[in-house]
Structure 1
Amino acid sequence: MEPATAAAACPRLLVSLLLVLSCFVSPELVHGQPDALGFISIDCGIADGPSYPDESTRGLRYVSDAGFVDAGAGANAGINPPYSDRELAARYLTVRHFSGGAARSCYTLRGLSPGGRYLVRSSFYYGNYDALNRLPSFHLYLGVNRWAAVNVTAPDDILIFEAVVVSPADFFQVCLVDIGQGTPFISGLDLRPLRAAMYPEATVNQSLLLLNLRRPAARFALNRYHFWRPASFYKIYRYPFDSYDRIWQSYGDIAAWTNITTTANVDVSKASSFDAPPVVLRSAATPVNGTRLEFSWSPDTSQNNDSSSAAYLLLLYFAELQQLPGNVLRRFDILVDGASWNGSRSYTPKYLSAEVVEQVVVQGSGQHTVSLVATPDAILPPILNAFEIYSLRQMTELATNNGDAKAMMGIRTTYMLKKNWMGDPCAPKAFAWNGLNCSYSSSGPAWITALILSSSLLTGAVDPSFGDLKSLQYLDLSNNSLSGPIPDFLAQMPSLKFLHCCCNSRIGNNANICDNGASTCAPNDKQKNRTLIIAIAVPIAVATLLFVAAIIILHRRRIKQVRLDSRYMDGK
C-alpha cells in the first residue's frame, strides 16, 4: 500500500525516464563474525580493541560489542564499587546502556547458517553502573518475538537468559526494548552453534526458553542442573566440559539426598539429541532413606507464561553408575503431578549408558512436581543425574523477508541513518522503521512496499541495495544531495511504480533539477511534484530515439492537446 503522502502512481515509462537521476555505490558492511569454534562471545561495554581470554571458560575469547551494534548506539559504563570488588568474570564489570530514547536497541549476530540451530545467552549485571541505584526493568526480544522481562531486583543480581533457536537467515538479532521503567543495559551476549539433531523441538516457528527460576544454592536462575556434591565446590560446568558451552549448575546439597559418582566414562551416544557432557552424568542424586525423589517448578514470570496454556519441555537424564549384582534391581516410576510419565512403564537406568527421558507438560496449575518412585520389587531407590526445563515459545511474529531486511541494513549503513532504524524493518508493527510501508501476511514474512527518504540528508551515490527491494512500489529520494553515474537497475525493479527524485545534486551530467530558477521542490505538494517530474523527464527523454518513440506511442493524446493549445495561442 502506498503512503498517504504519496502522489498518484506514475506510468512505468516515467520510471525509466527518471533513471538518469540516480546512481549506485555501496560500501561493504562490516560486522563481527563467529570465531573458529563458531562461537560469538561479546563483552558489552568494553572499548573496541583486541579480544581477551576468559578465565572462567579456560580461554574462550571475548570481544567488544562495537562490531555488533550501530555506531553511536548506546554508551559504555563500568560497574561501581562495592559491586565491582567481587570475584566476577570480566564481562560483568562493564555494561552498554541505551539511554538515548530509542524504543528498541539491537545486536546483530552475523555469519550464521540459515536454518542452523543455536544457543543464545544474554547476561545482565546492574552493579549500580549509573550511580543512581535505580533498578530498571525492560524487555528482551529474540528477533521480533518477546523473549523475557528483565527485572533487576537488586544491584548485585546476575540475570542470565538462555534460548535454543533456529535462525531463519544468515544473521540473528537480540533486542532490548524500553518500557519506560529504567534504562535498558546489557553485560554480555553469547551465541553457540548446536548440532542439527540437537533439541529437535526447536524450529523456526518455536524456540526453547530455558526456565529462569533461582534456587538458593544456585548462582544463576537457570533450570539446568547437575547433582555433584558439595555444591560449594562443584558449582558450575560449562565450556570446555560442555563443548556447546551450556551452563550446568549444582542443584545444591539437599539433606534428604546423597549422591553416587563414578570415574568411569559414561556413554552418551544414546542421548545424542541433547549431548549432555559426560562429566555431568558421572554423578547422580538418590534419597538417603526412602523410595522417592522429587523436585518442583512453577511458571516463570519473566517469560510471561500464561498459567493455563504454557507448555514446558522437561528433560531428565539417567545413567546407572553402580555395577549391580543380578539380584539387585533399581526400578522406578516417573510421575508428573501424580500421573505416569506418558503412560510409560517403570524405568531402569542402564549401566554407564546415558538416556534422556523427555515430556512436554502443559501448564494447568501454579506448580508442577516430578516424582521418581521406586517400584515394590526394587531393591535400590531412584536416581537422577541431571535435568533441564524449557518453556516452549511460539514465534508468532513474522519478520521482514530476508532480502528486504538485508537491503535496508545496507541502506542504513551507507547513509548512516539513525531515525528509529534498529532491529527488523517491519516487525513488530509497533517498532516498524520510520519512512516505510510494509505489506503484512499471516502466513509469510512482511515485504517493504514504500520507502520515503525525502529530506534525509542523503549524500553521494544511491546505494544499490535499493534494487534488492523486490516488492517496492514507491520510492521517494527527493530533497537530498545524491550524485553519481546513471543507474541501470531501477527499470528492472519488478514492482516499482513511482520514483520521486527531485531536488538532488548533479546526477550524471544533469544540473540540480531545482536550480533552474523556475520551480521549487515541494515534496508535500502533489501537483507541483507531478508537473516538475514531467517537465524534467520530457526534455531528457527526447534526447534518444527510443524514448521519443515511447513518448509518441504512450502520450499521443497529451501531444495532441499541446498542438491545439499552440494553434489557439497563434490565433491570438
Structure 2
Amino acid sequence: MSWLLLLCLVAAGILQAPAQPNPAGFISIDCGLPGETGYVNNITTLSYTTDASFIDAYAGSNHNISTKYMTSTLPNNWWYTLRSFPSGARNCYTLGLLMPGLKYLIRAKFLYGNYDGLDRLPISFDLYVGVDFWMRVNIQVSGRWVLAEAIVMVSRDSLQVCLVNTGGGVPFISALDLRPLRNKIYPQANMTHGLVLVNRINFGPYDGSAAIRYPDDPFDRMWFPASGGATAYWDEISTEMKVEIGDDQFQPPQAVMQTAITPKNFSSNIEFTMDLQGSPSYWSLGYIEMMYFSELKSLPNNTLRQYTIYRNGEETTTAYTPPYLDDGYTYSAEPFHARQYLLSINATANSTMPPIINALELFSIIPTTTLGTNSQDVSAIMTIKERYQVQKNWMGDPCVPDTMVWDGLTCIYASSKPPIISNVNVSFSGLNYTISPDFANLTDVRHLDLSNNNLIGSIPDTLSQLPSLIFLDLSNNKLSGSIPFGLLKKVQDGSLDLRYGNNPDLCSNGNTCHPTEGDNKLAIHIVVPVVVIVALVLVAILCFWLQRKRKEGSIRNPVKVTNDGDWIISLPLENRQFTYMELEVITNNFQRPLGRGGFGYVFHGSLEKGTEVAVKLRSHS
C-alpha cells in the first residue's frame, strides 16, 4: 500500500447549496472553484468555499479536469476543479484567524485528471507548511487522487501552505482543508516537530463509503478502509454497542472503534506490510505508529484474547489484552527507522482467541524548527504588498528559505534569531499613492529604493527615525512638500545618502518649491551648500535694504531674518540681522531643540551677552 494513499473511491453524493457555517476553526477550500458561491457536502455537512480570498488574485489559473475523469468514482465535486501555478517558483495559500500555540491538521488533495490536455506524467513538486518542508507530491496516474496531510503546532495567527516548482512539472492543487485539534492529542507534534501522515487505516467491514470522517470524527481525520490481498485472510467483526472513547492522547472516533479484523484461522496471526521507500520527507527522523484496539465481544471467563506486537521482527508490546468496549491503544514511544514496515500481531501461548486490531495510524516526523522572518518585518512588508498590490514573486515567507527570498529584498541571517530584512528595492514596481508609513516599521532596513514609481504626497518624517538607514532613493516620483528635517540632518552629518531628483513639486531644505534640475540621482549633500550660498546672498540684500530704512527712522519692530531654512529669530531687545553662520553659532549648530509646533522646529540659542533666544524653522506646505 503506497504511503500516498492512491485509492480509487466509490461514489458519494454532493449537495449544491449555499454554504453553511463550519465548526469553529474549520477551513474547507475548493481550489479552482469559479465564482464566489460555495456549497455543502451532504455526506460531511461541511461547507466548501472558493480559494479566491486565500491566495493572490494574480496567482495561478482555474481549470476543470477532463470529462473523461468526471466519473461516479469521484466522491466530491471538488475533484472536478483545480488551480495550477505555471508562473513563479513558489505560490502560497494563506490561512488566517488561527490560534498561536494550537495544533492543526492540514490536508491538501490533488487530482491531475489531464486538466491541461497534455497527459504528461509524472508530475512532482514540493509542499511547504509555513517555512518548513512538508513533502514532495508525486503524481503518477491521471485519474488517481493524492492526499497530503500534516499535523503541526502553529506559532502565529496565520499559516501559509506553499507549492514550490522543482522542475518536475506545473504544481497544482484540488482542495485544501484545515482543522483545529485538541492540544493533548498527538503529543509527538509540538513546536519543534510535526507529523506527516503515511497511512491511516480503519480495519473492519467495508460499508461502501470512501472513508470515515466528519461528523463521525469531530476532527475530520479521514480513516480509510483496509485494502489489498491480505483482507482475504481476515474476518471482519463489528458491534452497534457504544465503545467508550476516553479523553486520551489520540481519541479515535467511535465508528472506527466499533469495527475490527481478526484472522480467519484461530491459529494465525495478523500481518501487515507497507513499503516506505517512497515515504514523505525526512524519513531519517523516523516514523511513529499508533494502533487502536477494543474487544467487541463479551468473552466467557475462561476465554482470553492476548497478543504480542512485533514491528519488523522487534517486539514492541508484550501480552496485550484489548479492553472490552473501551478504546485501547499502543504507540511508539520513540521514532523508528525503516524502509519497510512489517507489522505482526501474534497470539501469546496463553491466548485462547486470535488477535484483533481496529485501526492504525503511521506518521513520518518532520522538523518544524526553521525560523521565519522577524514577525514585525513580515507584518510591515505584507501590508506594503497589499497596499501597492505588488505583483512580484512575493509569496510565502520573505526571507525563508534563503533560496526563495522575495525579489528586491536582501535579508540578514543570524543563528538562533529570525532573519531580518536589510534592503528593500521596489524601484520600477508601479507603486502608486503615498509612501506607506509601514516602511518605517522595517527597523533594520539599510537601503530603501522607491525610485521610478508614481508615489505622491509628502515624505513621511518617520523615515528619518530608521536607525540603520544609510541609503534612500526617492527619485523619479511625484512627491511634494518639504524634505523632513530629520533626513536633512542625517545628510548633513554624512550618515545618509538621499536621492530625490525629478520630483518637480518637492521642496529641498525649505526653499520655495520649484522643479529640480540636473541629474536625477543628485545627492542632497551637494544641493545643501548651494542653497546656503543663495540664502546668504538674500541675507546680504536684506541687510542693505534695512540699512537704507534706518536712514528714514528708527525700526521699532523685531527683525525676522530668513535664509536657507527660513530661520526666524525674535529679538525685541535690539535691531540686528544675522547671517546663517551666526545662527549656527547662536544655536550651537542647532543642537538643542525646544519643540515642534504647527510652524516647524524651535531651537534654543544664546547671544554674546548670554541673552537666551528661540530660533524657529518655518515649514512650507
Q: Structure 1 length normalisation: TM-score?
A: 0.81
Counterpart of 1:288 in structure 2 is: 264
What do residues 412-447 of structure 1 show as CA deviations (whole Å, max 9, x unaligned)? 111111121111100111110011111113323211
- Once the two structures are superposed, the pairs formed by residues 399-414 of structure 1 within 5 Å of their partners are 399-414=372-387
Looking at structure 2, the residues matched to 415 and 532 of structure 1 have their Cα atoms a distance apart, in angstroms, of 32
State the shift of 1:232 in Å: 5.9
- Once the two structures are superposed, the pairs formed by residues 235-274 of structure 1 within 5 Å of their partners are 235-252=210-227, 254-270=231-247, 272-274=248-250
Counterpart of 2:457 in structure 1 is: 484
Q: Is the 8 A contact 1:404 1:448 kept in 2?
A: yes
> 2:332 matched to 1:333?
no
Cα distance, 1:389–1:545 mapped onto 2, change above 3 Å: farther
State the shift of 1:535 in Å: 6.8
Larger Rg: 2
SS of 2:423's partner is strand
State percent identity of aligned pairs.
Answer: 39
Q: Is the 8 A contact 2:282 2:366 kept in 1?
A: no
Candidates 115, 118, 122, aligned match of 1:132: 118
> 2:565 matched to 1:542?
yes
- Once the two structures are superposed, the pairs formed by residues 72-151 of structure 1 within 5 Å of their partners are 72-88=58-74, 89-100=76-87, 102-135=88-121, 136-151=123-138
State the shift of 1:345 in Å: 3.6
Q: Is the 8 A contact 2:94 2:160 kept in 1?
A: yes
Candidates 395, 398, 418, aligned match of 1:425: 398
Structure 1 gap ranges (5+): 1-33, 212-222, 523-527, 555-572
Counterpart of 2:448 in structure 1 is: 475
Cα distance, 1:234–1:67 mapped onto 2, change above 3 Å: closer
> 2:295 matched to 1:320?
yes
- Once the two structures are superposed, the pairs formed by residues 145-544 of structure 1 within 5 Å of their partners are 145-211=132-198, 223-229=199-205, 231=206, 233-252=208-227, 254-270=231-247, 272-289=248-265, 290-301=267-278, 303-306=280-283, 309-341=284-316, 344-359=317-332, 362=335, 364-485=337-458, 487-508=460-481, 511-513=504-506, 516-522=515-521, 528-529=522-523, 531=525, 542-543=565-566
What do residues 509-555 of structure 1 show as CA deviations (whole Å, max 9, x unaligned)? 67544973522223xxxxx446467579989983468997585559x
Counterpart of 1:40 in structure 2 is: 27
State the shift of 1:188 in Å: 0.5
What do residues 227-256 of structure 1 show as CA deviations (whole Å, max 9, x unaligned)? 121x36254101111111110011137121
Looking at structure 2, the residues matched to 184 and 267 of structure 1 have their Cα atoms a distance apart, in angstroms, of 43
Cα distance, 1:537–1:484 mapped onto 2, change above 3 Å: farther
Cα distance, 1:400–1:545 mapped onto 2, change above 3 Å: farther
SS of 1:507's partner is strand
Cα distance, 1:64–1:535 mapped onto 2, change above 3 Å: farther
Looking at structure 1, the residues matched to 454 and 166 of structure 2 have their Cα atoms a distance apart, in angstroms, of 37
Q: Structure 2 length normalisation: TM-score?
A: 0.75
Q: Is the 8 A contact 1:504 1:512 kept in 2?
A: no
Looking at structure 2, the residues matched to 403 and 117 of structure 1 have their Cα atoms a distance apart, in angstroms, of 23
What do residues 425-480 of structure 1 show as CA deviations (whole Å, max 9, x unaligned)? 00111110011111113323211122122232211112232233232233222232
Higher mean alpha-carbon deviation, 387-396 vs 83-92, is at: 83-92
Cα distance, 1:459–1:262 mapped onto 2, change above 3 Å: same
Cα distance, 1:51–1:376 mapped onto 2, change above 3 Å: same
Q: Is the 8 A contact 1:475 1:499 kept in 2?
A: yes
What do residues 163-194 of structure 1 show as CA deviations (whole Å, max 9, x unaligned)? 00111211111111112222111110110111
**Aligned amino acid, residue 120 of structure 2:** R
Q: Is the 8 A contact 2:481 2:505 kept in 1?
A: no
Structure 2 gap ranges (5+): 1-20, 484-503, 508-513, 536-562, 570-582, 593-621
**Aligned amino acid, residue 290 of structure 2:** L
SS of 1:269's partner is coil
SS of 2:376's partner is helix
Q: Is the 8 A contact 2:281 2:366 kept in 1?
A: no
Looking at structure 2, the residues matched to 432 and 40 of structure 1 have their Cα atoms a distance apart, in angstroms, of 28
Q: Is the 8 A contact 1:79 1:127 kept in 2?
A: yes
**Aligned amino acid, residue 313 of structure 1:** I
SS of 1:409's partner is helix
**Aligned amino acid, residue 206 of structure 1:** H
Cα distance, 1:154–1:551 mapped onto 2, change above 3 Å: farther
What do residues 324-356 of structure 1 show as CA deviations (whole Å, max 9, x unaligned)? 222211111122222221xx5421111111022
What do residues 263-318 of structure 1 show as CA deviations (whole Å, max 9, x unaligned)? 11111115x22121111000111111124212122325252445xx3410100111
Counterpart of 2:495 in structure 1 is: none
Higher mean alpha-carbon deviation, 500-509 vs 103-112, is at: 500-509
Looking at structure 1, the residues matched to 43 and 329 of structure 2 have their Cα atoms a distance apart, in angstroms, of 28
Candidates 27, 37, 52, aligned match of 1:66: 52
Q: Is the 8 A contact 1:311 1:360 kept in 2?
A: no
Cα distance, 1:375–1:302 mapped onto 2, change above 3 Å: closer
Counterpart of 2:597 in structure 1 is: none
SS of 1:334's partner is strand
SS of 1:412's partner is helix
Cα distance, 1:354–1:466 mapped onto 2, change above 3 Å: same
SS of 1:466's partner is helix
Looking at structure 1, the residues matched to 42 and 95 of structure 2 have their Cα atoms a distance apart, in angstroms, of 24
Looking at structure 2, the residues matched to 301 and 535 of structure 1 have their Cα atoms a distance apart, in angstroms, of 70
Counterpart of 1:26 in structure 2 is: none
**Aligned amino acid, residue 520 of structure 2:** C
Looking at structure 2, the residues matched to 541 and 180 of structure 1 have their Cα atoms a distance apart, in angstroms, of 60
Looking at structure 2, the residues matched to 275 and 130 of structure 1 have their Cα atoms a distance apart, in angstroms, of 42
